Amino acid sequence: MFFDEVGPELYRENAFRITGLAVDATARDIRRRSEELRLKERLGVSQGAGATVLPLSPPPDATVTDQAMQRLRDPARRLEDEFFWFWPSRDGGPDEAIAALRRGDADTAERLWQESSADPATAAHNLAVLAHLRALDRTAEHEHGDGLDPAGRALWAKAFTYWTRVVADPAVWTLVDTRVGQIADPRLTPETATRMRSRLPAALLSINARLAVRAARDGRHDDAAAHVALMRRSGFATATVMDVLARAVEPDTARLRSLGENAERTIDADPARGAEVTARFLEQATSLLGTLRALLDDDDPAIQGAGDEIASRVLRCLVPYARATDDWPTTTGLLERVQPLATTGSVRTRIEENLAAARSNLLFATCWFCKTNPTDEASTHEQKMWGDLQTEYVGPYIRYNWQRIAIGVPRCARCAARHRRTIRTGRWATLLLLAAAVLTLVVLDNSLVLAMVLFGVCMVTWFGSLPVYGLPRGAFQQVMAFDPVRERMSAGWKLGERQGGSQT
């Protein structure tokens, strides 16, 4: 019931700050002030005139003022606004601190409350309210400028110091209990002060949590981290801090689930849109994850759950898309982007297995030689290999057994034609050079040296043009770098076919 609506606008929406009334205003004072404000409205005078204790700028309009008056007529809501405003001194003399606030001299008011000995409970409460109000007002002023500067952080630290004292001070809550009795409303029970006291730490922390979430969403990660650090150093229980942070990010985790569900539904209806939808979801989800990481520790269950949620959704989106389109480059790229987000072992394993399959499909779907064109099945180069040599003794004889495989190296029709053309060209060049060497010996006199040079060039060209396993030498070097071939060779396999013996 109490403090459910506490947020960064706590003091800007406080009914006493808006109306200019004191917390001990009677029902008659409220009626009189309401009539005064209606008259000013008819005369065109600012509704904020008369709100002399830390007046709002700009002054509130008539609608805001009317809402504040209605709030003061609700005993429970009025009690909450009283708690977050300045209590009058109970020592019977003039309230110099409140008078200083009316003059706009907050520093003097703070000093007077710090020095107060006649009414320490009221002074402690008012110091907390003043520091908290100043911290929130400064944060609002600098939120879209230089952010939470050192002076702002110092104000927040001071506010938390005062508030922890208020929570721990029984005298403060005796005053609250006394005020509950004075109001005498059936909704306010003898347990009201106790409930307010127990809920206050979470309510105060929730303000910084909301500011941190807002900063993180705006990309002001330093401000978000600063608010979280202030919460952790507030003096309140760590469990309360963590619970408040978890509740603050619940809208983001819920939105993350909603985005994932929408993406899956869209792809189920039209798998061909999978890449576009998945990329958009991943971008939005990563942004939400950044908000969570700005507030929570990396080992927090919410962070781990969000990472697994994103990874699992992306996987479920990409499977139907890949099956429908065979677009392995896009599928592989998206899986590589989401792989670091997977947290738990089972999700990581699923991502890694599907990524390995996608990379394999990508490897065999694109020509290995030009790295551009799709593979033409009829043009695939088969690289024969043998290995896994086993020795078997049969009586006095030794028998060797081995395995043979043929690894298909993906190749497009254009590269296959180019390879054949390169081999033919080399052979024709060899024949022409040989013919030139013979012609030189037959036709030209004393041309042995030239003929020998031509013959040497002919031999070099001939050796250079010899195909290696049916490929030009340059293309063969590419085959040697093909992952399946390279892995087999690393395991001791040889190129070609071993003759004789036995094979399995």
Judge whether residue 158 has pLDDT over 90.
yes
What is the structure's pLDDT at 13? 92
DSSP 357-404: HHHHHHHHHB-TTTSSSBP-GGGPEEEEEEEEEEEEEETTEEEEEEEE
Judge whether residue 279 has pLDDT over 50.
yes
What is the structure's pLDDT at 5? 83
Judge whether residue 464 has pLDDT over 90.
no
pLDDT band at 402 (very low <50, low <70, confident <90, very high): confident
The mean pLDDT of 12-30, rounded to a whole number, is 90
Q: Are 196 and 2 in contact (CB under 8 A)?
A: yes
Query: What are the tens digits of pLDDT across the range 57-106?
Result: 888 888 888 899 999 999 999 999 999 999 998 776 678 999 899 888 99
Query: What are the tens digits of pLDDT across the range 485-496?
Result: 999 999 889 988
pLDDT band at 210 (very low <50, low <70, confident <90, very high): very high
Q: Between 400 and 347, whose confidence is greater?
A: 347
Please state, in angstroms and rounded to a whole number, the distance separating the CA atoms of residues 488 and 232: 56
What is the structure's pLDDT at 423? 83
Lowest pLDDT segment from 253-262, 349-358, 409-418, 435-444:
435-444
pTM: 0.74
Q: Are 322 and 328 in contact (CB under 8 A)?
A: yes
The mean pLDDT of 189-214, rounded to a whole number, is 94
Please state, in angstroms and rounded to a whole number, the distance separating the CA atoms of residues 97 and 405: 93
Cis omega before residue 58 (within 30°)? yes
Judge whether residue 454 has pLDDT over 70.
no
Q: Which residues pair with 381 in a beta bridge?
A: 409
Judge whether residue 229 has pLDDT over 70.
yes
Q: For helices 301-325 and 250-269, give the axis angle rounded to 10 degrees.
A: 10
Judge whether residue 219 has pLDDT over 90.
no
Lowest pLDDT segment from 48-62, 300-314, 366-380:
48-62
Closest CA to 408 of 335, 485, 351: 485
Q: What are phi and psi of 87, to 5 degrees?
A: -85, 140
The mean pLDDT of 267-282, rounded to a whole number, is 94
Mean pLDDT of the residues in the chain:
86
Closest CA to 195 of 278, 79, 101: 79
What is the structure's pLDDT at 49? 41
pLDDT band at 322 (very low <50, low <70, confident <90, very high): very high
What is the structure's pLDDT at 180? 92
The mean pLDDT of 333-347, rounded to a whole number, is 93
Query: What are the tens digits of pLDDT across the range 110-135?
Result: 999 999 877 899 999 999 999 999 99
Q: Between 146 and 221, whose confidence is greater?
A: 221
The mean pLDDT of 237-242, rounded to a whole number, is 94
CA distances from 279 to 181, 243, 336, 354 (A): 60, 32, 12, 17
What is the structure's pLDDT at 142? 78
What is the structure's pLDDT at 363? 86
Closest CA to 381 of 346, 328, 420: 420
